[in-house]
Amino acid sequence: MTRKFFVCGNWKMNGSKKSIGELIQTLNTAKLDPNVEVVCAAPAIYLELTRSELDPKFSVAAQNCYIVPSGGFTGEISPAMIKDCGMDWVILGHSTRRHIFGESNEFIGQKIAHAQENDLGVIVCIGETREEKEKGITDQVIFAQMKAIADNVKDWSKVVLAYEPVWAIGTGKTASPQQAQEVHDKLREWLKTNVSEAVANSVRIIYGGSVTGGTCKELASQKDVDGFLVGGASLKPEFIDIINAKA
Residue among 94, 103, 114, 132 flagged as catalytic: 94
Backbone region of residue 172 per phi and psi (left: phi > 0; alpha: psi in -120 to 50; beta: other values): left
Q: Give the contacts of 80 (CB within 8 A, at least 6 positions apart).
A: 69, 70, 118
CB atoms within 10 A of CB 191: 23
Residue among 134, 164, 189, 218 flagged as catalytic: 164
Would you say 44 and 63 are in contact if contact means Cβ atoms under 8 Å apart?
yes
How far CA 77 is from CA of 20, 113, 118, 149, in Å, comes to 21, 15, 13, 20
Q: Give the contacts of 242 (CB within 8 A, at least 6 positions apart).
A: 7, 211, 212, 213, 216, 228, 230, 233, 234
**Among candidates 5, 3, 2, which has minimal Cα distance to 32?**
5
Whether 94 is catalytic: yes
In the beta sheet, which residues pair with residue 181? none
Whether 164 is catalytic: yes
Q: How far apart are CA 193 and CA 247, in angstroms?
A: 33
**Among candidates 153, 246, 145, 156, which has minimal Cα distance to 201?**
156
Give the residue numbers annotated as catalytic, written as ranges: 94, 164
